Structure 1
Amino acid sequence: MTKPPSKTPMAGGFLLALSLIVGVFAGIARGEASFGFLIGLGVGIALLILVWLADRMRTGR
């Protein structure tokens, strides 16, 4: 028998948190912590959307 796909959703919160932290530290290194935060936020949201889309395609919804 084939194993049914997992109903457990994938989580992307770690990617958002990591991108925010990396963005802030990169911004601090360049003297623009707020700008780094915003760039990290944008990258994190883009990664969250990719994870969400991958999860939807994986579960067939």
Structure 2
Amino acid sequence: MADPRPSRGPVAGGAILALTIMAGVVVGVALRQPSIGLLGGIAVGTVISILIWRRDRRS
């Protein structure tokens, strides 16, 4: 008998990471601190990517 739930592929967090890095640089440039914006984007993107990864592993 087939499983009634369709299988779901893994969710990729790389796009989220790339978008948050770019958004961080844009915000940083607007505030005249592009390096801090880059680091902030990396930090936020890493946290979100880890949360997505952990949620995906439980499913």
TM range (shorter): 0.7 to 0.9
Aligned residue pairs: how many?
Answer: 57
Q: What letter corresponds to residue 40 of structure 1 in structure 2?
A: G
**In the alignment, structure 1 residue 3 sits paired with structure 2 residue 19:** no
- CA RMSD, aligned part only? 1.3
Q: Percent identity?
A: 40
Matched residue, 2:41: 40
TM-score between both structures, scaled by the size of structure 1: 0.85
Partner of 2:20: 19
1:25 is displaced (CA, Å) by: 0.4
Give 2:32's aligned residue.
31
Cα deviation digits, residues 7-59 of structure 1 (max 9, x gap): x211011100000000000000000000000000000000110110110111x
- Once the 2 structures are TM-superposed, how far is the Cα of residue 3 of structure 1 from its aligned partner? 2.5
Q: Distance in 2 between matches of 1:32 and 1:41?
A: 14
What one-letter code is carried by the residue in structure 1 that aligns with 2:58? M
Give the CA deviation at 1:4: 5.1
